[in-house]
Amino acid sequence: MIGLAWYAALAVFLVAATAFAQSTHGLLQSEGIIVNTGRLRIHGDATIAQPSIGGHVEYIGDDGADTQRVASVSYESLYVAGASRKIVDDTAQALTVEAMLATSVEAQIIMQTPQPIRARGGVQHNGRMSSDVGDATLRLDGDRPQRLSGVGVVPVLETANRSTIQLLDQAMLSITRRLDLQDGIVEARSAGWLMLADSAWLWRSDAGSITSPPIPAGVMNLRYYGTRLVRTGAEMPTGGDVVASLLQENLGGITLSHDLTVHGDLVLGGHIHTEPDITQRYVLTFNSAKDVACASPWAEVDGTLIRTNVDIGRALQMNAIDTYVRFNDVADRGSIAAISLRTKRLTMPPQAAGSVDKVRRYYQLTMLDQDGRPVADSTFRADVGYAWRVQPTAPVETDTVIEVRDGLRSMLDSLMLLRYDGSDYVDHGVSDLPTNGDPMRPQWRRGISRGVVANGDFAIGLSSTTPSVVLDVRAFLEGALVTRAADAEPRMRTTLRTNDVIPTTSPSGYPFDLWSGGGVSAHLPLADSIVDWIVVELRSEVTGGRRYYYPGLLSANGHVVDPQTTFRVTARQVRTGRYYMALHHRNHLSVMTAEPLIVRPGEGEITADLSRGESVFGGPASLVFAGVQDGQRRWAMPAGDVDISNLIGRDDIIWPVPLNDEGYLPLDVSLDGILGTNDLNLIWNNRGRAGAVP
């Protein structure tokens, strides 16, 4: 009997609509089966062994000085009322209600478990939920439309119904910690509201949404998560003083539907797009003394970000990692009260749409006074950090995020910040070169321009007015020589080109890994005179110093041409100075000028004939004889450095030798597209030879 400890060996059947069991005090402890099709009213603690119970169950303990334990089973219908504090403490399973969950105004539900209360049907919550072990959670996860009403309080409300959750008229449910829109739509009727306590969070996944804005009691915090791009909706308030922190963790990104101001933390775990289309431009304002936090190194604000806290002497991070503005003193800042930076990723600067010497990124920089008006040019002086994408983040991204065009990949060290002057993009400020990469965030290449004194449109790349110098360089590869005699002019075979096995993009590996620029595509079709790919280098010191690399194609007559223009290789944005010129090949020893050459960009071309033994580093002894031309002995780069050790020997031969293999092969030092004894002979004859170029 109920009222005492009841150990039921048989099922208790409550079958009539009016039939019920009740007790004033005491507990219900069942180890059997309760079959309820009517109403079961419980005044004391309950322990129920069976996983579910039908009918209508009420917990109505009314002693305000006492507690009442609620069993964590699956109920068909559950009503919680009375002044006794209702305890839910089962850590193994969640209390679940299939049809209807209702609580009275005086009901207090205390969660002593991290498990939620799961409601799969209607909810009328007028009581109060709290927790002794974290956040008390009410989870709506039915598989059919659910109705939500009441004026109760819940710390965490999770909506996970792929159908619909209807917030009924007169509902004013208060959420103290978090509203989590996980799945489906919350339809708020005209007179139904969700209330957020001061500093509460609203989370939205890429599958959840709400049709009417919740009402915050003060400030609120926002978090987005998921993997698909979403456009912000009613969950994001329109008031400028409401959002304290924004945590953007949706890997697919979010797109703003209106202007937004953030006053606390701004965390980028995915992109924030402020421009839904070409006709709508919104602004994300960051009104905080903190810095933008990039939780994902690739994430950024694609569009306009305004920073209103302009400190002196520190880098103020803007839209992306390594993109910042710094004022070194009060005089440099002038009357600036805010910084506006519009960044358009993967987009060519409008005035340079057809340019091949700019990356696919541009900036619009505007310094603002306290009234939000642009300050005059030359009234400020700033250092501006700029950065661009050179590598994707797998598996989140693909190569489509790379912003460097083929022609610039060998010149990453030399890309500057440029400003549009009304007719062209020209140098602005002084860009520190070479630019830098960071192994901790290899997705980016970065630079800094010091002394930026004007607002306007900015690009990253080679200035259209920056002088350049043509590199007229000539050399021969021993393995490719067709003739090699004292009375014959040297010429190289083009068998790789004839057999169409030369890659149309610069090969991977040495020497194309000497810089971080990646592959360069050649203009097609390749000329019939092409022998193989090669790399031209300018270095300011024999070892160390500044270095610039330029991929090229070697012609049968020894001249190196640009793979895209098919003319001589052009070096742009090389600092004026003295440079050694070197050539590197994938299976021949390198060669370099004996003395540095004077490089003055804009003064035409410099010539380096590396087939003349007396003009190379290490002299003729570092080369092999190639022939005679115009009465002068010519020399070639020695064949056989297959393992790129700068020393030719037995290790350069792959054992067992795959004789008669065909293709573009490292061991094919004769460059005829097939492995044979001639390749082995070339390597053997040069055994013990070390490269002169360090």
- Token pair for 360: 């696919």
Higher pLDDT, 656 or 561: 561
Residue 20 has pLDDT above 70, yes or no: no
Per-residue pLDDT band for 14 (boundaries 50, 70, 90) equals very low
- Token pair for 294: 């990039």
Q: What is the pLDDT of residues 180-211, one digit of tens each?
A: 999 999 998 667 899 999 999 999 999 999 99
Per-residue pLDDT band for 593 (boundaries 50, 70, 90) equals very high
Per-residue pLDDT band for 575 (boundaries 50, 70, 90) equals confident
Sequence-distant (6+) residues with CB within 8 A of 279 are none
Residue 5 has pLDDT above 80, yes or no: no
Q: What is the pLDDT of residues 207-259, one digit of tens each?
A: 999 999 999 999 999 999 999 999 999 999 998 899 999 999 999 999 999 99
Per-residue pLDDT band for 13 (boundaries 50, 70, 90) equals very low
The three-state (H, E, C) secondary structure of 209-236, written as one string: EECCCCEECCCEEEEEEECCCEECCCCC
Q: What is the pLDDT of residues 342-379, one digit of tens each?
A: 999 999 998 887 777 899 999 999 999 999 999 999 99
Residue 326 has pLDDT above 70, yes or no: yes
Residue 564 has pLDDT above 90, yes or no: no
DSSP state, 70? Answer: -
Percentages of the chain per state (helix, strand, coil), in multiples of 5? 5, 45, 50
Say how far apart CA 444 and CA 298 lie, in whole Å.
8
- Closest residue by Cα to residue 385 from 338, 432, 349: 432
- DSSP H helical segments within 438-575, as ranges? 495-498
Distances (CA, A) of 462 to 43, 155, 371, 413, 425: 81, 56, 36, 11, 9
Q: What is the percent of the chain with per-residue pLDDT over 70, rounded to a whole number?
A: 94
Residue 82's pLDDT is 97
Say how far apart CA 668 and CA 117 lie, in whole Å.
71
User: Do the beta carbons of residue 342 and residue 303 sit within 8 Å?
Assistant: yes
Cβ neighbour number for residue 400 with a 10 Å cutoff: 9
Q: What is the percent of the chain with per-residue pLDDT over 90, rounded to a whole number?
A: 77
Q: What is the pLDDT of residues 597-637, one digit of tens each?
A: 988 766 678 999 999 999 999 999 999 999 998 888 999 99
CA 349 from chain centre, in angstroms, equals 22
- Buried b or exposed e, range 348-373, using 16+ CB within 10 angstroms: bbebbeebebbbbbbbbbbbbeeeee
Q: Which range in 6-20, 153-167, 354-368, 508-522 is most confidently predicted, on average pLDDT?
A: 153-167
Distances (CA, A) of 313 to 324, 330, 446, 549: 12, 9, 20, 35
Residue 190's pLDDT is 65
Distances (CA, A) of 95 to 115, 137, 396, 423: 8, 11, 37, 70
Count Cα neighbours of 158 within 13 Å in the Cβ-side half-sphere: 16
Cβ neighbour number for residue 313 with a 10 Å cutoff: 11
Per-residue pLDDT band for 17 (boundaries 50, 70, 90) equals very low
- Closest residue by Cα to residue 528 from 493, 483, 477, 570: 493
User: Do the beta carbons of residue 75 and residue 94 sit within 8 Å?
Assistant: no
Residue 119's pLDDT is 98
Residue 16's pLDDT is 33
Residue 147 has pLDDT above 90, yes or no: yes
Residue 149 has pLDDT above 80, yes or no: yes
Q: What is the pLDDT of residues 280-320, one digit of tens each?
A: 999 999 999 999 999 999 999 999 999 999 999 999 999 99
Angle at 355 between CA 352 and CA 357, to 5 degrees: 115
Residue 301's pLDDT is 98
Residue 572 has pLDDT above 70, yes or no: yes
Residue 19 has pLDDT above 80, yes or no: no
Q: Is the pTM of this model over 0.85?
A: no
Is residue 528 classed exposed, middle or buried when 0-12, 13-18 and 19+ CB atoms within 10 A define those classes?
A: exposed
Angle at 512 between CA 595 and CA 531, to 5 degrees: 80
Helix (H, G, I), strand (E, B) or coil at 680: helix
DSSP state, 74? Answer: E
Say how far apart CA 344 and CA 218 lie, in whole Å.
34
Residue 504 has pLDDT above 50, yes or no: yes
Say how far apart CA 463 and CA 418 lie, in whole Å.
7
Higher pLDDT, 466 or 457: 457
Residue 516's pLDDT is 67
Cβ neighbour number for residue 297 with a 10 Å cutoff: 17
